[in-house]
Structure 1
Amino acid sequence: MRLQLPTAADTHEFGLRLAALLRAGDLVILTGPLGAGKTALTQGIGAGLGVEGRITSPTFVIARSHRAGEAGVPLVHVDAYRLEHLDELDDLDLDTDVDAAVTVVEWGAGLAERLAESHLEIAVDRRTGATGEDETREAVLHARGGDWAERLAALGLPVGAAA
């Protein structure tokens, strides 16, 4: 599934819609260059999951756990850019069990896949206009095992989606 997300607000909105499909134990791996919208997408997911607190990039702390609000699902947000081995995630001693939370890993391709038997990979990229300004983001979703393909089909086509 390939989606066009014209604005940061559309990226956030897509995260909200995606969160409706997510459940505890899910792994979402985000790839893409700096500024592509990975954290904006995670903010939308967090809002849709009903987590407490502000979601910011965990670049310097590597991982943040966000508690669930009332009737929500916790979120573990990881920036794997500086990680070399999967064992380094265990060393973080997160206060949230990843089996009881949705885990979103930025820069996780080639490393985080081993955290779960199946996962959703989302490649986010930005299309730069002739003036050099950021314009439309594009998200390409890849279902990797489990029931991800069926769940994505239930998502429908969000704002700006390519048919």
Structure 2
Amino acid sequence: MCGDAPVGEAEEVVAAVTVVEVPLVEDTLALGRRIGAVLRAGDLVLLSGPLGAGKTVLARGIGAGLGVVGRVSSPTFIIAREHRAGARGVAMVHVDAYRLGGRLDELDDLDLDTELVDAAVVVEWGEDLGERLSSDYLLVRLERRLDDTRVARVEAHGSWLRESRAVHW
């Protein structure tokens, strides 16, 4: 919440953050499955964290939670990979924005705004792309604390807050 509002005035909540410990790969996969289980076509999930933090592992768990067809692997060299819908009926577009190197005009070439109608879109290295693509998104920041504990900071924005879908991560 913003600290600038005078006392007594309502403040607008722009994000809700939940911190989840994910010490093992299995824990990261399980978090991804929980996220994937509540995704629907049109949802946007942005993944952030340093190299080796577990972004692709989390995306694999999201794909499992969605029940997409085929193996979810890193789209680093092709930038975007579409995974067909399975039993739940929601496809997933998995994007790796790392190779775009901040060249957001190339992001426009991917037509992700079109994909946001028909599929859940998961973007690795996508932290700075949220408002550009949609005001409704889930941001997951994977990090390692000083005590070597791995955590995921799950931030709900827009409709994720209004609909209270970001629960029990």
Identity %: 56
Partner of 2:161: 148
What TM-score, normalized by structure 1, do the two folds share? 0.82
Three-state SS of the structure 2 residue aligned to 1:68 is coil
Q: Is the 8 A contact 1:123 1:140 kept in 2?
A: yes
How big is the alpha-carbon RMSD for the aligned residues of Structure 1 and Structure 2? Answer: 2.1
- What's the CA shift for 1:146? 1.6
Partner of 2:12: none
Q: Take 2:98 and 2:64, find their aligned partners in 1: how far apart are those partners? A: 24
List alignment gaps of at least 5 residues for structure 1: 130-134, 159-163
Q: Take 1:147 and 1:112, find their aligned partners in 2: how far apart are those partners? A: 13
Post-superposition CA distance 1:44-88 (Å, at most 9, x none): 100110101111111111110000113331001001012233331
Q: Take 1:37 and 1:116, find their aligned partners in 2: how far apart are those partners? A: 24
Post-superposition CA distance 1:33-52 (Å, at most 9, x none): 01111111110100110101
1:64-83 matched pairs, under 5 angstroms: 64-83=81-100
Q: Is the 8 A contact 1:122 1:140 kept in 2?
A: yes
Q: Is the 8 A contact 1:65 1:77 kept in 2?
A: yes
Partner of 1:57: 74
Partner of 2:6: none
> Is 1:98 matched up with 2:116?
yes
Alignment size in residue pairs: 149
Q: Is the 8 A contact 1:85 1:111 kept in 2?
A: no
Three-state SS of the structure 2 residue aligned to 1:39 is helix
Q: Take 2:161 and 2:84, find their aligned partners in 1: how far apart are those partners? A: 24
Q: Is the 8 A contact 2:79 2:96 kept in 1?
A: yes
List alignment gaps of at least 5 residues for structure 2: 1-17
Partner of 1:113: 131
> Is 1:11 matched up with 2:36?
no
Partner of 1:45: 62
Q: Take 1:53 and 1:87, find their aligned partners in 2: how far apart are those partners? A: 30
- What's the CA shift for 1:138? 0.5
Q: Take 2:117 and 2:103, find their aligned partners in 1: how far apart are those partners? A: 20
